[in-house]
Amino acid sequence: MIIRQIKLFHKFALIMVLLAVLPLLIQGIKMISINREALEVSVLEIHTKLAQEIAEDINDYVSGLNLDLAFVLAFEKFPKMSWQEKMKVLLSVLSRHNDFILISVLNGNGDEVIKVHNPSFTQETSRLITRSNDSAFMEAKKTGVPQVGNIYYEGDLPRLNIVYPLEVEYEYVFVTASLTDLWKKIDAVRIGKTGFAFLIDREGRTIFHPELDRAKKLQNVADLPIVREAIVKFGNPSIESPSAGGFRDGDGSGMVGAYSWAESLNWGVIMQQSKGEAYSSITRMKVNAIFWIVLSIMGSVFLAFFLAKSLSRPILQLIAGAEKLGEGDFNYEVKVKTHDEISTLANTFNFMVKKLKEFQEQLVIREKLSAIGQMASVVGHEIRNPLGVINNAIYYIRTKLEMSLGLELDPKIKKHIGIIEKEIDASNKIVNDLLGFSRTRPPMAQPHDLNKIIEDSLSVVSIPETVKVEIGLYLELPPALVNPDEVRQVFVNLINNAWQAMPDGGTLKIRTYIEEDMAQTEITDTGCGISAENMKKLFTPFFSTKTKGTGLGLAAVQRILERHKGKIKVRSRVGQGTTFIVSLPLAK
């Protein structure tokens, strides 16, 4: 037994470990890969979004400049105003935008004719100078459209020149704007400790960087992969390529970056962060995932061994139960405390053993009943004949005494003759029950009116006046395939039991109907009812709750109905009454 248990346990344990660990390991590796890719995409999306937001801020800044100068450029009378009136208009514009350092009006040669400046910038003077060599002025004069110059630095202050051609008189509005506030806003955008943004122009030169010297020197970073990719995409907007990815900076350090273009100034926004910091969450995710996978595997192995033990123990108990059953021990019970299919199997096994025990007991009882039936048949026939002779003799004696005396019999003699006749009837009933119980051959059944048999049965039963009889016979009831004498014995027994259950009076109801293609007869009393304990033994031979009786009445009823391929059911409530339902086949 021990060797078998070890083998069975190890088989279950191995299967459980494989079923638990392999899917968990495969799924864990797959989830790590999926989450890593998702986190990488999420990091790049964050960088791309920040780069796009900075580009939008730059475009908004340019839109603000244009909006403040829009009414000047659109005002047709501006070129024809006097220089004092123009001065007032420009001062009004200058006061509304803190980033304007100066605004001047240039003639066709690029010379300043009117000039106003922001007093916040003390290094500026009101002296009129020429802007003829300014690249933005020369391009605006050539093309006739507004031009933005290159960024330049006055000390650490970034500046930008913008030239707007006027439609008449060959005049131009020249604006110098400070980018300090915009630079501060861009510089404030950070990701972690190493993530920041810097700006490039179309040629890949740095125009803004947290390390200001790089921007002041216009350091060329076109050799960086992310910058090179941004320049290629700017020159070919139809190219579909990702705007984010990994690269290495000039020091060879791994970086993660994204880019976006501010179309209004043709500036590129580069967002970068060290790869180690950007993907630190991925590293933590991997460590945590591996930790939980290992922990889950350990738990799964422990659980697998526990389940293997839980599965093998009840199966071994079932094997032991089967061995006990094979030895003929019907009292052994398999005890399994689980709440699963194995518990159901154990309960089914115990139920099977219980039923086998009952079948064995029933087999013994049937063998005994068979012997009793054979004896009852012999005894019944042997007793019935003498009873018939005694009954005839009593009838003869009564008749002779009445004829010889010419008078009524002496009350005492009449009483004793009545007692003899009553006991003969009781003995005949016992004989009939014995013969009904002992019959095994199929009855000689023919189509008969079941209602007529019930009426005949009532006519031979003496029902006390304290019992009210209610009859509800179905007049269109088809004939039933029965032996009338045997079925009459069934109804007589049931009717007698019904009125005897009502010693203080009550109601006896009899009704017939059709259900399930069978003729149904209900016999209901309002007597004391039958207890649940007695219901189990109701049709057991020789069981009776009466002081007088053989206990064969209902057993004979059941045997007769079984031989007729019928059945009997009982409904009862203690203190309320009992209903017997007799089902018999209809004649076809």
What is the mean predicted confidence (pLDDT) over 483-509? 90
What is the mean predicted confidence (pLDDT) over 211-220? 89
Q: How far is the C-alpha of 509 from the C-alpha of 224, rounded, in Å?
A: 107
Token pair in block for residue 400: 């002779």
Which tops the pLDDT comparison, 514 or 536? 514
Token pair in block for residue 362: 């029933």
Q: How far is the C-alpha of 69 from the C-alpha of 94, rounded, in Å?
A: 9
Q: What is the pLDDT of residue 123?
A: 65
Q: What is the pLDDT of residue 240?
A: 47
Burial class (CB in 10 A: 0-12, 13-18, 19+), 121: middle
Q: What is the pLDDT of residue 408?
A: 67
Q: Is the pLDDT of residue 510 over 90?
A: yes
**What does the angle CA 138 – CA 144 – CA 145 come to, to the nearest 5 degrees?**
95
Structure-derived torsion over alpha carbons of residues 236, 238, 244, 249, reported in degrees to the nearest 10 = -10
| pLDDT grade for 241, boundaries at 50, 70 and 90 | very low
Please give the DSSP secondary-structure letter assigned to residue 166: -
Which residues, in sequence order, are CB contacts of 582 under 8 Å at separation 6+?
490, 491, 494, 520, 521, 522, 523, 561, 566, 568
Q: How far is the C-alpha of 304 from the C-alpha of 286, rounded, in Å?
A: 26
Which residues, in sequence order, are CB contacts of 123 under 8 Å at separation 6+?
154
End-to-end CA distance of the chain: 62
| Helix, strand counts (H, E) of the chain | 14, 18
29-38's contacts with Cβ under 8 Å and 24+ in sequence apart are: 31/289, 32/285, 32/286, 32/289, 32/290, 35/282, 35/285, 35/289, 36/282, 36/285, 36/286
Most confident residue range from 34-43, 175-184, 434-443, 511-520: 511-520
Most confident residue range from 2-6, 35-39, 146-150, 325-329: 146-150
- Domains of the chain, residue spans: 341-420, 443-585
Q: What is the pLDDT of residue 513?
A: 94
Does residue 577 contact residue 525 with C-beta atoms inside 8 Å? yes
pLDDT digits (tens, 9 = 90+) for 478-492: 999 998 988 988 999
CATH of 443-585, one of 3.30.9.10, 3.30.420.10, 3.30.565.10, 1.10.8.50: 3.30.565.10
Token pair in block for residue 326: 């094979």
Q: How far is the C-alpha of 346 from the C-alpha of 326, rounded, in Å?
A: 16
What is the mean predicted confidence (pLDDT) over 239-265? 73
pTM value? 0.48
What is the mean predicted confidence (pLDDT) over 319-347? 74
What is the mean predicted confidence (pLDDT) over 101-115? 87
Q: How far is the C-alpha of 183 from the C-alpha of 47, rounded, in Å?
A: 18
Q: Is the pLDDT of residue 583 over 50?
A: yes
3-state secondary structure of 450: helix
Q: What is the pLDDT of residue 313?
A: 74
Residue with tokens 């020197």: 217
pLDDT digits (tens, 9 = 90+) for 255-286: 888 888 888 888 899 998 888 887 777 777 77
Q: What is the pLDDT of residue 239?
A: 47
Residue with tokens 């109907």: 513
pLDDT digits (tens, 9 = 90+) for 124-183: 667 888 988 998 899 888 888 888 888 888 888 898 898 988 766 668 889 888 888 888
Token pair in block for residue 190: 């950070």
DSSP-assigned states of every residue in 90-157: HHHHHHT-TTEEEEEEE-TTSBEEEEEE-TT-TT------B-TT-HHHHHHHHHSS-EE---EEETTE
Q: Is the pLDDT of residue 349 over 90?
A: no
| pLDDT grade for 524, boundaries at 50, 70 and 90 | very high
Burial class (CB in 10 A: 0-12, 13-18, 19+), 28: middle
